[in-house]
């Protein structure tokens, strides 16, 4: 991967990256102590874009608020299914393992950021979490619950033969949207590693990208505050795709501007 921008004149904003519980991932030996982890790829991608990353542990709300008051941007990564209790539903049999403590921390951070206008970027689960934080709901399994759904679950494990950068389907980007400024109008080809998706769109959010079956694949704010969320995994595409790199660099630029206002 490229090296981070070290230009002294460009202050590096602090970007929060919530962690997840190691044991929620499955396949973990019972004798390993409870641990908080996060994929290095997210951290490295944000560092290269110019961020100072802050990996956020799943701590109590008072400690979490102290962390939040020092950040300039919030990045919400992919991961385990969101507990359907978070949006008032019982679990579907095909809802996978969840991480309720991660849900709690991310929902708090997202709701605070939505209220305060802190720049937010979400990918895959992160887009779904933003939607839930804004009062929206999810399909717990697209193939089972959404009529006419295309295949979205191109997971790179279980002998699937797919890699994380496998471009699975197109997303149609809305003209004039923030997403269009990053990806351009028309269609962008994306990777796809999810079996859940946005059902009812949360308050204050607008859909700015859809899959061929109409499933929301990009969300942003309706009030001009910086928030962009995508249902795919752009961090896996940055090595060869300028638009994916632009997604992260624009987010860091917004966080840098927020930092300038915060410390002024």
Residue count of the chain: 264
d(CA 9, CA 249): 16
Paired sense of beta strands 227-230 and 120-123, if any: parallel
CA max distance for the chain: 53
Cα 166–Cα 172–Cα 176 angle in degrees, nearest 5 = 130
Going 61 to 250 to 46 to 142, the CA torsion angle's sign is positive
Distances (CA, A) of 226 to 20, 76, 136, 260: 25, 14, 19, 15
Alpha carbon 1 to its chain centroid, in Å, reads 21
CB of 142 within 8 A of CB of 214? no
Q: Does 169 participate in catalysis according to the annotation? A: no
Q: Coil, helix or strand for 138?
A: strand
Are 89 and 51 spatial neighbours (Cβ–Cβ below 8 Å)? Answer: no
Is position 152 annotated as part of the catalytic site? no
State the burial class of residue 157 (Cβ atoms within 10 Å of its Cβ: 0-12, 13-18, 19+). Answer: exposed
Q: Are 120 and 226 in contact (CB under 8 A)?
A: yes
Active-site option among 152, 217, 233, 250? 233
User: Which residue in 101, 217, 220, 235 is the catalytic one?
Assistant: 235
* Annotated catalytic residue within 95, 106, 124, 169: 124
235 as an active site residue: the answer is yes
| Cα distance between residue 83 and residue 98, in whole Å | 6
Report the catalytic residues.
124, 233, 235
């Amino acid at each position: 991967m490229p090296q981070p921008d070290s230009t002294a004149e460009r202050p590096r904003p602090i970007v929060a990256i919530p962690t997840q519980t190691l044991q929620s991932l499955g396949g973990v030996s019972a004798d390993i102590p409870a641990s908080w982890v996060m994929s290095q790829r997210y951290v490295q991608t944000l560092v290269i874009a110019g961020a100072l990353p802050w990996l956020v542990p799943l701590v109590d709300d008072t400690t979490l608020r102290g962390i939040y008051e020092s950040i300039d941007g919030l990045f919400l990564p992919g991961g385990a299914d969101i507990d359907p209790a978070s949006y008032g539903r019982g679990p579907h049999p095909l809802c996978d393992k969840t991480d309720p403590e991660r849900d709690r921390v991310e929902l708090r951070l997202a709701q605070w950021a939505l209220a305060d206008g802190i720049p937010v970027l979400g990918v895959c689960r992160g887009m779904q979490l933003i939607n839930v934080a804004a009062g929206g709901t999810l399909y717990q399994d697209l193939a089972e619950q959404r009529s006419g759904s295309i295949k979205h679950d191109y997971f790179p494990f279980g002998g699937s033969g797919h890699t994380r950068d496998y471009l699975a389907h197109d997303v149609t980007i809305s003209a004039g949207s923030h997403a269009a400024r990053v990806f351009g109008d028309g269609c962008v080809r994306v990777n796809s590693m999810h079996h859940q998706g946005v059902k009812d769109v949360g308050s204050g959010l607008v859909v700015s990208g859809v899959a061929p079956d109409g499933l929301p694949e990009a969300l942003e704010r309706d009030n001009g505050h910086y928030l962009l969320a995508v249902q795919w995994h752009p961090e896996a595409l940055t090595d060869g795709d300028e638009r994916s790199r632009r997604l992260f660099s624009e987010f860091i630029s917004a966080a840098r501007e927020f930092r300038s206002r915060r410390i002024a």
